């Protein structure tokens, strides 16, 4: 019912961003389109193809790209995450979609999950080319997440880690690195929960992903407040998908942010934790997103 192509496009600075483009069989028509990307330190192979296929089967052109410095995309500092750079790159992805003959440029939506769920809130609030947005288990407040997920007795060591990295870079050393996931409390890691470890370390194609991220990515994550933009998303239609036992991006923060959003909006809650939309709750999460995009990217909108 659709074709998957490998694609690439140029981002600011000349780096090439790469990913997959899913195109429905009926190429005589111009289709609505969805732009997708992964969350913190993830790559497209971390469960995104399943969502992309569901959207393509529903008649959408779907673009899934790897963020700069990750996966198949270019980037001089591998596994380095700047949320604002990722947002700027995503605007280029939207421009790339607009340029395709198979795409109706007036009917483009964005879908983001976790960290990228925060990105799409910022994008939808600041780029009116976007006609519908789905934020799945989105990051709302890096500061609040840090308060909950870092024990008070570990905070000094974390701040020392950030400061030592900054001093080292001042003296010409490369950015320091830590694990994305790990269960050894003596080894710095972004996530230690069993569900995060299982998700990130799932079997992937060779060389698709490495379990490391720059230390400074963690500092930037703690400074990132995408929830501050949620009231500005309107009049772009917003769907939020929230897991009721989310200990990563935090259910109560997401629900409070949804209350601050203006119409048109819709909330879908699912059982389970942060990674369940990709797993046991995939059918619910993908169906809700597909319905939202169909409703708001149809030709009569």
**What pLDDT is recorded for position 27?**
66
245 found inside a domain: yes
252 found inside a domain: yes
Query: Residues 70-86: pLDDT tens digits?
Result: 999 999 999 999 999 99
**What pLDDT is recorded for position 300?**
65
Parts of the chain with a pLDDT under 50 = none
Among 266, 237, 9, 286, residue whose Cα is nearest residue 130: 237
- Residue-range definition of the domain harbouring residue 94: 2-140+225-296
131 found inside a domain: yes
**What pLDDT is recorded for position 113?**
98
133 found inside a domain: yes
Computed over its alpha carbons, how large is the radius of gyration of the chain? 19
Contact residues for 203 (Cβ-Cβ < 8 A; gap 6+)? none
DSSP-assigned letters across all residues of 184-245: -TTS-EEE-SHHHHHHHTS---TTS--S-EEHHHHHHHHH--GGGGGGGSTTS-EEEEEETT
**What pLDDT is recorded for position 301?**
61
163 found inside a domain: no
166 found inside a domain: no
41 found inside a domain: yes
- CATH of residue 71's domain is 3.40.50.1820
pTM above 0.85, yes or no: yes
104 found inside a domain: yes
**Under a CB-based contact definition with an 8 Å cutoff, are residues 87 and 110 in contact?**
no
Q: How many domains does the chain have?
A: 1
> Which tokens hold the place of 291?
């319905």
**What pLDDT is recorded for position 4?**
97
């Amino acid at each position: 019912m659709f074709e998957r192509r490998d694609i690439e496009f140029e981002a600011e600075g000349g780096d090439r961003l790469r990913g997959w483009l899913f195109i429905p069989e009926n190429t005589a028509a111009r289709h609505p389109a969805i732009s997708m990307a992964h969350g913190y330190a993830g790559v497209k192979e971390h469960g995104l193809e399943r969502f992309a296929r569901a959207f393509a089967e529903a008649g959408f052109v779907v673009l899934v790209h790897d963020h700069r410095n990750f996966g198949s995309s270019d980037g001089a500092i591998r596994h380095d995450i700047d949320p604002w750079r990722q947002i700027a790159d995503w605007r280029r992805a939207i421009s790339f979609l607009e340029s395709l003959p198979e795409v109706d440029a007036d009917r483009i939506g964005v879908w983001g999950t976790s960290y990228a769920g925060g990105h799409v809130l910022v994008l939808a609030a600041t780029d009116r080319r976007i006609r519908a947005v789905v934020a799945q288990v989105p990051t709302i407040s890096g500061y609040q997440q840090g308060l909950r997920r870092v024990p008070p007795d570990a905070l000094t060591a974390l701040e020392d880690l950030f400061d030592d990295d900054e001093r080292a870079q001042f003296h010409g050393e490369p950015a320091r690195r830590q694990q994305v996931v790990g269960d050894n409390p003596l080894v710095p890691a972004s996530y230690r929960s069993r569900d995060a470890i299982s998700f990130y370390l799932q079997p992937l194609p060779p060389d698709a992903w490495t379990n490391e991220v720059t230390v400074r990515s963690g500092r930037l994550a703690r400074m990132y407040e995408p929830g501050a933009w949620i009231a500005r998303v309107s009049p772009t239609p917003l769907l939020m998908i929230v897991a009721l036992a989310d200990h990563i991006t935090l259910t109560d923060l997401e629900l409070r942010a949804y209350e601050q959003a203006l119409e048109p909006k819709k909330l879908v809650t699912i059982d389970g934790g942060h990674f369940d939309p990709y797993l046991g709750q995939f059918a619910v999460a993908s169906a809700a997103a597909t319905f939202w995009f169909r409703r708001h990217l149809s030709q009569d909108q």
